[in-house]
Amino acid sequence: MATSGSVTFRPNVEEIISEAFERCGIDPQTRTGHHAKSARRSLNLLFSEFANRGINYWTITQNTLTLANGTSNYTLPVGTIDILDAVIREDDIDQIVNRITIQEYNQIPNKTDTGKPSQYMLDRQYTPVIYFWNVPDKAYTLNYWVMNQIEDITASNQDTDVPYRWTDTICAGLASKLAVKYQPEKFQVLNEMYERSFNFAASSDNDGVSLRVQPTALNLM
Protein backbone atom coordinates (compact mmCIF):
# COMPACT_ATOMS: atom_id res chain seq x y z
CA MET A 1 0.00 0.00 0.00
CA ALA A 2 1.37 3.39 -0.98
CA THR A 3 1.63 6.08 1.69
CA SER A 4 1.84 9.83 1.20
CA GLY A 5 5.48 10.13 2.22
CA SER A 6 4.50 13.43 3.80
CA VAL A 7 4.80 14.55 7.43
CA THR A 8 3.67 18.14 6.95
CA PHE A 9 0.21 17.93 8.51
CA ARG A 10 -0.16 20.98 10.70
CA PRO A 11 -3.57 22.63 10.71
CA ASN A 12 -3.53 26.40 10.98
CA VAL A 13 -5.73 28.40 13.32
CA GLU A 14 -8.68 28.51 10.92
CA GLU A 15 -8.62 24.72 10.53
CA ILE A 16 -8.37 24.22 14.30
CA ILE A 17 -11.33 26.55 14.82
CA SER A 18 -13.34 24.68 12.19
CA GLU A 19 -12.55 21.33 13.81
CA ALA A 20 -13.56 22.66 17.23
CA PHE A 21 -16.88 24.04 15.97
CA GLU A 22 -17.60 20.75 14.18
CA ARG A 23 -17.02 18.86 17.45
CA CYS A 24 -19.59 21.18 19.01
CA GLY A 25 -22.03 20.30 16.24
CA ILE A 26 -22.18 23.85 14.89
CA ASP A 27 -22.82 24.19 11.16
CA PRO A 28 -19.93 26.08 9.49
CA GLN A 29 -22.49 27.88 7.31
CA THR A 30 -23.95 29.57 10.40
CA ARG A 31 -20.63 30.90 11.71
CA THR A 32 -20.02 34.63 11.65
CA GLY A 33 -17.04 36.92 12.08
CA HIS A 34 -17.92 37.16 15.75
CA HIS A 35 -17.62 33.37 16.07
CA ALA A 36 -14.10 33.50 14.63
CA LYS A 37 -13.06 36.34 16.95
CA SER A 38 -14.55 34.54 19.94
CA ALA A 39 -12.73 31.30 19.00
CA ARG A 40 -9.35 33.07 18.68
CA ARG A 41 -9.85 34.62 22.12
CA SER A 42 -10.72 31.21 23.58
CA LEU A 43 -7.64 29.71 21.94
CA ASN A 44 -5.41 32.26 23.68
CA LEU A 45 -7.17 31.50 26.96
CA LEU A 46 -6.47 27.80 26.36
CA PHE A 47 -2.76 28.57 25.96
CA SER A 48 -2.86 30.51 29.22
CA GLU A 49 -4.35 27.42 30.86
CA PHE A 50 -1.53 25.26 29.45
CA ALA A 51 1.00 27.49 31.25
CA ASN A 52 -0.68 26.71 34.58
CA ARG A 53 -0.82 22.94 34.08
CA GLY A 54 2.88 22.10 34.10
CA ILE A 55 5.99 22.56 32.01
CA ASN A 56 5.44 23.26 28.32
CA TYR A 57 8.72 21.75 27.20
CA TRP A 58 8.62 23.20 23.70
CA THR A 59 8.67 26.75 25.12
CA ILE A 60 11.86 26.26 27.16
CA THR A 61 14.87 28.35 26.14
CA GLN A 62 18.31 28.82 27.64
CA ASN A 63 19.05 32.47 28.29
CA THR A 64 21.97 34.41 29.71
CA LEU A 65 21.94 37.42 31.99
CA THR A 66 24.94 39.56 32.88
CA LEU A 67 24.93 40.39 36.58
CA ALA A 68 26.51 43.75 37.36
CA ASN A 69 28.53 44.68 40.39
CA GLY A 70 26.22 46.04 43.09
CA THR A 71 22.92 45.37 41.26
CA SER A 72 20.62 42.92 43.04
CA ASN A 73 17.53 42.83 40.79
CA TYR A 74 16.90 42.56 37.05
CA THR A 75 13.81 42.79 34.86
CA LEU A 76 13.22 39.72 32.70
CA PRO A 77 11.51 39.74 29.29
CA VAL A 78 7.73 39.94 29.10
CA GLY A 79 6.44 36.44 28.42
CA THR A 80 8.70 34.78 30.99
CA ILE A 81 6.43 32.27 32.73
CA ASP A 82 8.89 30.60 35.08
CA ILE A 83 12.55 29.83 35.65
CA LEU A 84 13.30 26.11 35.80
CA ASP A 85 17.00 26.19 36.66
CA ALA A 86 19.83 28.69 36.99
CA VAL A 87 23.62 28.53 37.29
CA ILE A 88 26.46 31.03 37.46
CA ARG A 89 29.24 30.11 35.07
CA GLU A 90 32.72 31.17 36.12
CA ASP A 91 35.97 29.80 34.68
CA ASP A 92 33.92 27.18 32.80
CA ILE A 93 32.49 25.86 36.06
CA ASP A 94 28.76 26.02 36.79
CA GLN A 95 27.51 26.78 40.28
CA ILE A 96 23.82 26.22 40.99
CA VAL A 97 21.87 29.26 42.13
CA ASN A 98 19.06 28.07 44.39
CA ARG A 99 15.55 29.47 44.17
CA ILE A 100 13.89 30.77 47.31
CA THR A 101 10.37 32.02 47.97
CA ILE A 102 9.32 35.62 48.49
CA GLN A 103 8.89 34.86 52.19
CA GLU A 104 12.39 33.40 52.45
CA TYR A 105 13.85 36.39 50.61
CA ASN A 106 12.03 38.82 52.88
CA GLN A 107 13.49 37.06 55.93
CA ILE A 108 17.10 37.63 54.83
CA PRO A 109 18.31 40.13 57.46
CA ASN A 110 20.84 41.97 55.30
CA LYS A 111 19.88 42.03 51.65
CA THR A 112 22.83 44.29 50.80
CA ASP A 113 25.51 41.69 51.63
CA THR A 114 27.79 41.34 48.62
CA GLY A 115 29.46 38.27 47.20
CA LYS A 116 28.85 35.59 44.61
CA PRO A 117 25.06 35.14 44.33
CA SER A 118 23.89 31.78 45.66
CA GLN A 119 20.12 32.36 45.79
CA TYR A 120 17.45 34.07 43.74
CA MET A 121 13.81 35.00 44.12
CA LEU A 122 11.50 35.40 41.13
CA ASP A 123 8.72 37.98 41.44
CA ARG A 124 6.36 36.75 38.72
CA GLN A 125 4.56 39.93 37.78
CA TYR A 126 3.42 40.83 34.24
CA THR A 127 7.04 41.93 33.78
CA PRO A 128 8.96 39.45 35.99
CA VAL A 129 11.80 40.65 38.21
CA ILE A 130 14.56 38.42 39.57
CA TYR A 131 16.32 39.28 42.86
CA PHE A 132 19.73 37.90 43.91
CA TRP A 133 21.42 37.29 47.22
CA ASN A 134 24.21 37.92 47.74
CA VAL A 135 24.33 41.17 45.78
CA PRO A 136 26.96 40.59 43.06
CA ASP A 137 30.39 41.83 44.10
CA LYS A 138 31.54 41.84 40.47
CA ALA A 139 30.21 40.93 37.04
CA TYR A 140 28.89 37.37 36.68
CA THR A 141 27.17 35.45 33.88
CA LEU A 142 23.92 33.73 34.78
CA ASN A 143 22.73 30.89 32.57
CA TYR A 144 19.09 30.09 33.17
CA TRP A 145 16.41 27.93 31.60
CA VAL A 146 13.02 29.56 31.28
CA MET A 147 9.52 28.49 30.28
CA ASN A 148 8.12 31.12 27.93
CA GLN A 149 4.58 32.19 27.15
CA ILE A 150 3.04 30.52 24.10
CA GLU A 151 2.80 33.10 21.32
CA ASP A 152 -0.54 34.86 20.89
CA ILE A 153 -3.04 34.03 18.17
CA THR A 154 -3.95 37.26 16.38
CA ALA A 155 -5.28 36.01 13.01
CA SER A 156 -6.96 32.89 11.66
CA ASN A 157 -4.37 32.30 8.92
CA GLN A 158 -1.54 31.83 11.43
CA ASP A 159 0.03 28.64 12.74
CA THR A 160 0.01 27.90 16.46
CA ASP A 161 3.15 28.01 18.57
CA VAL A 162 2.45 24.44 19.70
CA PRO A 163 4.03 21.20 18.40
CA TYR A 164 2.30 18.56 16.27
CA ARG A 165 1.76 16.08 19.10
CA TRP A 166 -0.51 18.60 20.86
CA THR A 167 -2.77 19.19 17.84
CA ASP A 168 -5.67 17.06 19.05
CA THR A 169 -5.42 18.56 22.52
CA ILE A 170 -5.74 22.07 21.09
CA CYS A 171 -8.80 21.07 19.06
CA ALA A 172 -10.38 19.29 22.03
CA GLY A 173 -9.63 22.13 24.44
CA LEU A 174 -11.02 24.75 22.10
CA ALA A 175 -14.15 22.68 21.49
CA SER A 176 -14.65 22.48 25.25
CA LYS A 177 -14.36 26.25 25.67
CA LEU A 178 -16.67 26.94 22.71
CA ALA A 179 -19.24 24.52 24.09
CA VAL A 180 -19.51 26.66 27.25
CA LYS A 181 -20.61 29.57 25.06
CA TYR A 182 -22.60 27.93 22.29
CA GLN A 183 -23.49 24.33 23.18
CA PRO A 184 -23.52 24.03 26.99
CA GLU A 185 -25.37 20.70 26.85
CA LYS A 186 -22.28 19.21 25.16
CA PHE A 187 -19.72 20.74 27.52
CA GLN A 188 -19.34 17.75 29.84
CA VAL A 189 -18.56 15.18 27.16
CA LEU A 190 -16.29 17.58 25.24
CA ASN A 191 -14.44 18.56 28.40
CA GLU A 192 -13.89 14.90 29.27
CA MET A 193 -12.44 14.37 25.79
CA TYR A 194 -10.18 17.38 26.31
CA GLU A 195 -8.91 16.17 29.68
CA ARG A 196 -8.14 12.73 28.25
CA SER A 197 -6.29 14.23 25.30
CA PHE A 198 -4.38 16.63 27.55
CA ASN A 199 -3.25 13.84 29.85
CA PHE A 200 -2.00 11.79 26.89
CA ALA A 201 -0.04 14.73 25.49
CA ALA A 202 1.34 15.86 28.85
CA SER A 203 2.50 12.35 29.76
CA SER A 204 4.82 12.29 26.73
CA ASP A 205 5.85 15.96 26.87
CA ASN A 206 9.05 15.62 28.87
CA ASP A 207 12.80 15.60 28.48
CA GLY A 208 13.08 11.82 28.26
CA VAL A 209 13.85 11.08 31.90
CA SER A 210 11.71 8.89 34.11
CA LEU A 211 11.05 11.66 36.63
CA ARG A 212 8.72 14.45 35.53
CA VAL A 213 10.16 17.65 36.99
CA GLN A 214 7.84 20.46 38.04
CA PRO A 215 8.96 24.10 38.38
CA THR A 216 10.15 24.84 41.90
CA ALA A 217 8.42 27.29 44.22
CA LEU A 218 5.42 27.96 42.02
CA ASN A 219 3.55 29.03 45.16
CA LEU A 220 5.56 32.12 46.01
CA MET A 221 4.58 32.42 49.64
C-alpha separations of 58 from 62, 150, 165 in Å: 12, 9, 11
Question: In whole angstroms, what is the distance from residue 102 CA to residue 154 CA?
Answer: 35
Question: In whole angstroms, what is the distance from residue 126 CA to residue 81 CA?
Answer: 9
Q: Summarize pLDDT for 151-184 with one digit per residue, the tens.
A: 999 999 999 999 999 999 999 999 999 999 999 9
Q: Which amino acid is at 56?
A: N
Question: In whole angstroms, what is the distance from residue 96 CA to residue 202 CA?
Answer: 28
Question: In whole angstroms, what is the distance from residue 220 CA to residue 129 CA?
Answer: 13
Tell me the whole-structure pTM to 2 decimals: 0.86
Q: Summarize pLDDT for 104-144 with one digit per residue, the tens.
A: 999 999 999 999 999 999 999 889 999 999 999 999 999 99
Q: Summarize pLDDT for 25-82 with one digit per residue, the tens.
A: 998 888 899 999 999 999 999 999 999 999 999 999 999 999 999 999 999 999 999 9
| Annotated domain spans of the chain | 13-55+150-204, 57-148
- Phi and psi dihedrals of 178, rounded to 5? -70, -30
Question: In whole angstroms, what is the distance from residue 153 CA to residue 168 CA?
Answer: 17
Q: Please, are residues 183 and 25 in contact by the beta-carbon 8 Å criterion?
A: yes
Q: Give the pLDDT confidence score for residue 211 in this predicted structure.
A: 41
Question: β-strands 119-123, 129-133: how paired?
Answer: antiparallel
Closest CA to 141 of 41, 56, 65, 46: 65
